[in-house]
Amino acid sequence: MKNKLGIKQILVYFTILLMLGSAFAVFCSGTVTAATNTNFVSKHPKPTPTPTPTPTPVSSNEFSGIFIPTWDGANDGFSSIDWSAINWLCVFHLIPETNGAIYYDVGSSAINYAAIVAASHVHGDRCFVCLGGSPSNPDPYPTIINTPSIWQTLITNTISAAHQYSYDGIVVDFECQTNGDFNRAAYANFVRELTTQANSAGLQVYVCWARWQDSSTNPTLLEPVCNKLMDMLYPSSTNYATLSAFERLVSSDAALVKHPQNMVYGFTVPEESGLTEAQWLSDMKYLVGLGYGMFYWNTATAVPNDYATISTALNS
């Protein structure tokens, strides 16, 4: 008895053949359309390259600072400041002791710390406090720097003092009595530890450096471990009395650090430097042209008195 295919069976076979033919055509064309899985996350995402940071030069109008001595209470310390000429101020100074304690050098009449910080903030300026200065006798800095067990006490006390009057940061100015009397690498490690803890506490740390103490303080080591390096350049009539000499000095100092835009340069007043006001002004304008910031130190008189000259330099 012969088997005959029914119509339904023929249709089934025909459908199967069509499906096989379509699959074969797709295979030959090499085109496969995959379903989209919106929940799929690659285990190996394409890495995003990390951009190389481009340092932005600090313009002089972003940083123009002065120091105010703690012992100037008789003159109010800040009543005659032309706030339009500056945007940064530092109270000078806290003196450290070999056991990590600190105290203000106030002389006979201390300034009102809370008031000067408040005045700075009202004018939109930052106000720091300086730790250090010219060493007393005996000099505490070698003992402090060469004894890491003292560091934490000093750091804790300094941060506490900064918070007491709402300062915005700390300037470290450890000046050696004899060049080389404390270890440069140890000093940089101390600054690194202070900066790490101060930054975590919302404070910036700037560090003073000068060529005359380069055996104790090394700018190459210090610049990477603080927020700003303050070059106590202090051009005078006895050194770098011409603009060309001043230009060479700035260039040579900038070459000592990886990020020279993180340095700001110091001036004394014309009366103290021995420079003519014209020469002093030309030096300032040179820094302005490079985009560097500056700070201003005055021991000739109690209160800085050359704001008009500073404003001319910054705005011309």
State the residue for tokens 């770098």: 240
Please report whether residue 164 resides in a domain.
yes
- Residue 301, helix vs strand vs coil: coil
Cis preceding-peptide flag for 93 (omega within 30 of 0): yes
Q: Give the long-range contacts of residues 244-249, CB within 8 A, separation 24 or more.
A: 246/283, 246/286, 247/286
Of 25, 24, 38, 111, the closest CA to residue 72 belongs to 111
Residue 291 above 60 pLDDT? yes
CATH code: domain of residue 183: 3.20.20.80
Please report whether residue 68 resides in a domain.
yes
Of 91, 77, 86, the closest CA to residue 123 belongs to 86
Residue 200 above 60 pLDDT? yes
Give residue 12's Cα distance to chain centre.
Answer: 81
Domain count, the chain: 1
Residue 180 above 50 pLDDT? yes
How far is it, in rounded angstroms, from Cα 248 to Cα 184? Answer: 25
**pLDDT, position 43:** 35
**pLDDT, position 315:** 57
**What is the per-residue pLDDT across 259-271, written as a single tens digit (0 to 9) for each?**
888 888 887 766 6
pTM (whole model) above 0.85 = no
Please report whether residue 52 resides in a domain.
no
Please report whether residue 174 resides in a domain.
yes
**pLDDT, position 161:** 96
Please report whether residue 74 resides in a domain.
yes
User: If you average pLDDT over every residue of the chain, what do you get?
Assistant: 74
Please report whether residue 98 resides in a domain.
yes
**What is the per-residue pLDDT across 50-63, written as a single tens digit (0 to 9) for each?**
333 333 333 444 67
How far is it, in rounded angstroms, from Cα 121 to Cα 178? Answer: 38
Range with the lowest mean pLDDT among 116-130, 236-250, 294-308?
A: 294-308
Domain that holds residue 219: 64-315
Please report whether residue 22 resides in a domain.
no
**What is the per-residue pLDDT across 101-126, written as a single tens digit (0 to 9) for each?**
999 887 656 778 898 899 899 989 99
Please report whether residue 146 resides in a domain.
yes
**pLDDT, position 137:** 67
- Residue 146 burial by Cβ neighbours in a 10 Å radius (0-12, 13-18, 19+): middle
